[in-house]
Amino acid sequence: MSTSPGKHAATASQVPAVPEPTFAERTRTQLYLGRVGTLSTLSRKQLGFPFGSVMPYALDSHGRPVFLISSMAMHTQNLQADPRSSLMVTDFQPNEDPLGASRVTLVGNTQKLGDSERSSARELYLARHSNSKYWVDFEDFHFYRMEVVDLYYVGGFGVMGWVEARQYVEAVPDPLSDTAADIIRHMNDDHSDSLILLAKAFAGIEAQEARMTAVDRLGFNVRLKTPERMRGARIAFLREVANPQQTREVLVRMVQQAREG
């Protein structure tokens, strides 16, 4: 993928769009990384009212959430009466603004899996929640799966939109998903000066402080402290990356370009 990072400040209309993952890719990545969400079912006791429950989940190969739930649980009884449900997953971290965190809400029908699917669901779920081995085989516990009908994604302030279920199913998690946290930590702890340099050279922003907040195969996001205010920016990589080594190579090259120019 070709990118043409600007090296001077420009108005919004002059700044070229910075490539970034689609909402479908972002939702697939966030659900892949997540482990727990809020499952909302339709209450049997108070008809028509949503009933929220903390719900661990695993994803199958089609991105469908799989739950291990007890027949005694209220949400299970609600699902038995009406499979319509939603699952909300957020990447909110303590000491951060919860409204600035990305989150995704899946809407779908959640139903019990048949005996023929139990073995594969068991293996999938235990790989994600190993502690469940202590109760997974209890007689009152069963696997349920949500068939996704629609999704709504919020990527933070002013970034939101619906995602078609088909697009979500066809998307794959970002190749940096499993290592993004380590890359971000390394850049913030050891190369904050380089982030300031990159913000100036590739986003046209003079910053006093800079922190990387997200990274994916196409680029990264930074949170910048400028003399006027705090602001965010998206910076494209010189080329698409597929692993941490390629990410390091591209970042090193970008820093070299910033210092040269």
Evaluate whether residue 137 is within a structural domain: yes
C-alpha 37/C-alpha 88 separation (Å) is 5
C-alpha 33/C-alpha 91 separation (Å) is 9
Position 18 scores a pLDDT of 87
- Domain count of the fold of the chain: 2
Q: Are 196 and 1 in contact (CB under 8 A)?
A: no
Q: Which one of 137, 170, 203 terminates a domain?
A: 170
Q: What is the secondary structure of 39-52 as a DSSP string?
A: EEEE-TTTTT-EEE
Question: What digits encode the pLDDT tens for the residues 86-143?
Answer: 999 998 777 777 777 889 999 999 999 999 999 999 999 999 999 999 999 999 999 9
C-alpha 197/C-alpha 141 separation (Å) is 54
Q: What is the secondary structure of 119-163 as a DSSP string?
A: HHHHHHHHHH-GGGGGTTTSTTEEEEEEEEEEEEEEEETTEEEEE
Range of the domain at 232: 180-260
Position 99 scores a pLDDT of 78
Position 100 scores a pLDDT of 74
Low-confidence ranges of the chain (pLDDT < 50): 1-15
Position 16 scores a pLDDT of 59
Mark whether 31 and 156 lie in a shared domain: yes
CATH classification at residue 233: 3.20.180.10
Position 155 scores a pLDDT of 86
Position 135 scores a pLDDT of 97
CATH classification at residue 95: 2.30.110.10
Evaluate whether residue 18 is within a structural domain: no
Mark whether 41 and 165 lie in a shared domain: yes
Nearest of 25, 14, 19, 77 to residue 51 by alpha carbon: 77
Mark whether 127 and 196 lie in a shared domain: no
